[in-house]
Amino acid sequence: MMATAVSEIMSTKINPNVVPHLHIWEWHIPLYLFLGGMAGGLLVITSIMIVLKRQFGIGPRDVGEGCPCLAIRIGSFLSPTLLGIGMLFLFLDLAHPLYVWAFYTTIQPTSPMSAGSWILIAFFPLAILQAMLVNRNQLRGFNIGPVSKIIDWTEQHMTIVALANAHIGVGIGIYTGILLSFFSARPLWSSSILGMLFLVSGISSAAALMLLLAPKDEKPVYSMIDANAIWIELMTVGLFVLGGLTGSANTHGAMMHLITGDVNLAGMSYMFWFWGIFVAAGLVVPLFLEFMEAAGVHIKFPNVAPVMVLCGGLILRFLIVFAGQTYHTFM
C-alpha cells in the first residue's frame, strides 16, 4: 500500500498541471508582453505630453494649428499599431484562437486575463482616436468623410481623451506584469512588484523608441524621460530581486535560478543574460551615456543608448517568462 502511494505521488508530481515547470508559453508571449508594455508606455508618454502642452505650455514646439510635434504624432500612431502586432503574437499562442470571443461573455474581476481583455476594449478606440487627432492635418488631406467628422466632433476634447489614455496606458503596462504575477504556482512570477517593473520598463522602452524617431531638437526631452525611467527601473529591479531572495524557500530558489542559474538561453546562462545583458548593457550603460550626453559630452553614436534600452526591455521579458517556467517548483 505504501509503495503504491509513493509511486502515485512521484508519477503525478511531474505532471505540469500539478507542478507546472514545463514550457507552456514560448516566444510569442515575451514578444506580446514587450510590445504591449511599449504600447502602453507610448500612450502614457504621448498623452502626458499632450496635456502638459495644451494646459501648461510645457514641451516641444507644436508644428502649427495646435498640432503636436512630430515625435508625439509618431508615438500616438505606433501605440495601437504595436499593441495590435503584439495581439497577433498572443493570438498565435492560443490553443483555441477561434474561441477568443469567449473572454467578452463574462467579467471576472479576479482574473488578470479577463481584466486585460476588457482594458483592450477601451485601449484601441481611444488610442486610435488620439492618433487621429494629433495627425488630423495629414488625415484631412485624404478627404475621408467619416474620419473628418470624427475629428471635428472630438477635436475640442483632445485633453480629455489624452487624460483617459494616460490612465489606460498605465493599466496596460501594469497588466503585462500582473498577467504573470497571478500564477502563484510559479514562484518567480508570484511577486506584487512585477506589474510595476513591467510598467516602468515599458515606459523606458517607449521613451527609447521616441528618442530614436524624434527630430534632433526634440531628442533631449525623451532622453530625460528615458534616463529617469531607467533609474526608477533599476530601483524596481533591485526590489524585485530582494523580494525574491528574502521570500519563501521556493521564491528564494526561483530568484537564484534567475540571477545565478546556469540554464542556457540561446547559448548563454540566465546569470549572464540577467546581469551582463539586461542590467549592465540594457540599463546601466545607457543610463551613463544619457547622463553624459545631458551633461554636454559629445557621444559619437547617440543612437546606441536607446537601442540598448530596447534590447534590454525585450530580454527582460524573455528571461522572466522562460526562467519562471524552467524552475522546478516545490522540488
Report pLDDT for 96. 73
Cβ contacts of 235 within 8 Å, gap of 6 or more: none
Task: Look over the chain and give the mean of its residue pLDDT values, rounded to a whole number.
Answer: 85
Q: How many CB atoms lie within 10 A of CB 150?
A: 17
pLDDT of 139 strictly over 50: yes
CB 160 within 8 A of CB 47: no
Q: What is the separation, in whole angstroms, between the first and last Cα of the chain?
A: 24
CA distance 86 to 80: 10
Is pLDDT larger for residue 64 or for residue 111?
111
Lowest mean pLDDT among 2-6, 110-114, 301-305: 2-6
pLDDT of 32 strictly over 70: yes
Q: What is the mean pLDDT of residues 253-282?
A: 90
Q: What is the mean pLDDT of residues 269-292?
A: 94
Q: Which pLDDT band, with edges at 50, 70 and 90, does 115 fall under?
A: confident
What the chain holds in terms of domains, given with CATH numbers, is 23-326 (1.20.1630.10)
Cell digits for 3?
509503495
Q: What is the amino acid identity at position 274?
A: F
CA distance 44 to 330: 39
Report pLDDT for 105. 77
pLDDT of 22 strictly over 80: no
Report pLDDT for 126. 94
pLDDT of 4 strictly over 70: no
pLDDT digit string (tens) for 33-72? 999 999 999 999 999 999 998 888 777 777 655 567 888 9
pLDDT digit string (tens) for 175-188? 988 888 887 778 89
Report pLDDT for 298. 82
CA distance 251 to 308: 29
Alpha helices in the chain (DSSP H): 2-13, 28-56, 70-93, 112-134, 136-140, 145-154, 158-181, 194-213, 219-245, 249-259, 270-271, 285-294, 304-326
Q: Which pLDDT band, with edges at 50, 70 and 90, does 25 fall under?
A: confident
CA distance 137 to 151: 10
pLDDT of 7 strictly over 60: no
Q: What is the mean pLDDT of residues 222-246?
A: 95
Q: Which pLDDT band, with edges at 50, 70 and 90, does 5 fall under?
A: very low
Most confidently predicted of 17-31, 61-75, 248-262 = 248-262
pLDDT of 99 strictly over 80: no
CB 45 within 8 A of CB 73: no
| SS3 category, 193 | coil
Report pLDDT for 66. 54
Strand partners, 268: 265
Cα-to-chain-centroid distance, residue 273: 19
pLDDT digit string (tens) for 173-228? 999 888 888 877 788 988 889 999 999 999 999 999 999 999 888 899 999 999 99
CB 327 within 8 A of CB 254: yes
